[in-house]
Amino acid sequence: MVGLLDGLRAELPPDMFALLEEAADICHAKGWKLYIVGGRVRDLILRRPGLDIDLVIEGNALDLAKELAERHSAGLTAHQRFKTASIQFNNYSLDVVTARSESYTSPGALPEVVPGSLEDDLKRRDFSINAMAVSLNRSDFGTLIDPSGGRLDMEKGLIRILHPQSFSDDATRIFRAIRYEQRFGFNIEPKTLACLIEHKKYLATITPERLRYEFECIFREAFPEKALKRAGDLSVLSQVNDSFTFGCRESNWFKQARDICQPETPSFSLYLALTCSSFNQTEIQKLAARLSLTAGDFQILHEGNLLNSRLGLLDCAGLRASALYRLLSNYDQVAITACMITNSKPAVKKNLGYYLKTLQYIKPELDGHEVKLLGVPHGPRVGEVLQIVHDAKLDGLVKTRQDETSLVRNLISKNS
Binding site for ligand CTP (CB under 6 A): 38-39, 52, 54, 125-126, 130, 170, 172-173, 176
Q: At what angle do helices 333-342 and 295-310 cross, to 10 degrees?
A: 50
Smallest distance from ligand CTP to CB 289, Å = 23
Task: Evaluate the CA torsion angle 178, 179, 185, 186 in order and state its sign.
Answer: negative
Of residues 38 and 59, the one with the C-beta less far from ligand CTP: 38
Of residues 173 and 212, the one with the C-beta less far from ligand CTP: 173
Which residue has the CB atom at the shortest distance from ligand CTP? 39
Smallest distance from ligand CTP to CB 159, Å = 12
Smallest distance from ligand CTP to CB 86, Å = 12
Smallest distance from ligand CTP to CB 172, Å = 5
Query: In this structure, are residues 178 and 236 in contact, taking their beta carbons and an 8 Å threshold?
Result: yes
Of residues 28 and 123, the one with the C-beta less far from ligand CTP: 123
Angle at 170 between CA 166 and CA 171, to 5 degrees: 100
Smallest distance from ligand CTP to CB 330, Å = 38
Query: In this structure, are residues 308 and 348 in contact, taking their beta carbons and an 8 Å threshold?
Result: no
Of residues 55 and 291, the one with the C-beta less far from ligand CTP: 55
Of residues 97 and 371, the one with the C-beta less far from ligand CTP: 97
DSSP letter, residue 329: T
SS (H, E, C) 61-119: HHHHHHHHHHHHCCEEEEECCCCEEEEECCCCEEEEEECEEEECCCCCCCCEEEECCHH
Of residues 231 and 276, the one with the C-beta less far from ligand CTP: 231
Residue 159 to residue 184: CA distance in whole angstroms? 10
Q: Which residues pair with 328 in a beta bridge?
A: none
Residue 12 to residue 107: CA distance in whole angstroms? 38
Residue 33 to residue 141: CA distance in whole angstroms? 11
Of residues 149 and 353, the one with the C-beta less far from ligand CTP: 149
- Length of the chain equals 416
Alpha carbon 2 to its chain centroid, in Å, reads 34
Smallest distance from ligand CTP to CB 299, Å = 29
Q: Which residues contact 322 (CB under 8 A, 6 or more apart)?
A: 390, 391, 392, 394, 395
Angle at 152 between CA 151 and CA 154, to 5 degrees: 65
Smallest distance from ligand CTP to CB 177, Å = 10
Smallest distance from ligand CTP to CB 225, Å = 17
Of residues 52 and 242, the one with the C-beta less far from ligand CTP: 52
Of residues 203 and 371, the one with the C-beta less far from ligand CTP: 203
User: If residue 145 lies in a helix (H) or strand (E), which one and from where to where?
Assistant: strand 144-145
Residue type, 290: R
Smallest distance from ligand CTP to CB 125, Å = 4
